[in-house]
């Protein structure tokens, strides 16, 4: 079965520091998708990025960047020059085939990031 491991339970940084959130996954599928979601204190999960298994190019979006390495089954997320508003729980997720031929998401346990002023 698919599995997502986020080894860092909590991270605390000072504003403007860079921070990397680790994600390691296990899957037997050759085609799969990886996701990152942000869950602020309000509770609503916010989609950040989706990456398919055939695209190993790193991606940058503003202060956010993602490093996908198939060889190590990792999909790490870096926030550059962190801000207090980045404080949230971040989840890495992996798509998994579900019953009926559709897909479902398997989430890691999340990493709680606290950015202090």
Partner 1 sequence: EAGVAQSPRYKIIEKRQSVAFWCNPISGHATLYWYQQILGQGPKLLIQFQNNGVVDDSQLPKDRFSAERLKGVDSTLKIQPAKLEDSAVYLCASSLEAYSSYNEQFFGPGTRLTVL
Residues 10-39 that bind partner 1 (CB under 8 A): 32-33, 37
Choosing from 19, 66, 108, 115, the residue that interacts with partner 1 (CB under 8 A) is 108
Minimum CB separation from partner 1 for residue 81, in Å?
26
Residue 109 makes CB contacts below 8 A (sequence gap 6+) with 6, 9
Residues 76-95 that bind partner 1 (CB under 8 A): 91, 93, 95
Q: CB of 99 within 8 A of CB of 82? A: no
For partner 1, give the closer residue by CB, 101 or 117: 101
Q: How many CA atoms lie within 13 A of 30 on its CB side?
A: 0
């Amino acid at each position: 079965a698919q599995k997502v491991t986020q080894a860092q339970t909590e991270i605390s940084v000072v504003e403007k520091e860079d921070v990397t959130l680790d994600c390691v996954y296990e899957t037997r599928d050759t085609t799969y998708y990886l996701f990152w979601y942000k869950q602020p204190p309000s509770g609503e999960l916010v989609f950040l990025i989706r990456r398919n298994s055939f695209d190993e190019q790193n991606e940058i979006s503003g202060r956010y960047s993602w490093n996908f390495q198939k060889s190590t089954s990792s999909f790490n997320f870096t926030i550059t020059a962190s801000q207090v508003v980045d404080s949230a729980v971040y989840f890495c997720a992996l798509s998994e085939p579900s019953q009926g031929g559709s897909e479902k998401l398997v989430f890691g346990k999340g990493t709680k990031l606290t950015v202090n002023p």
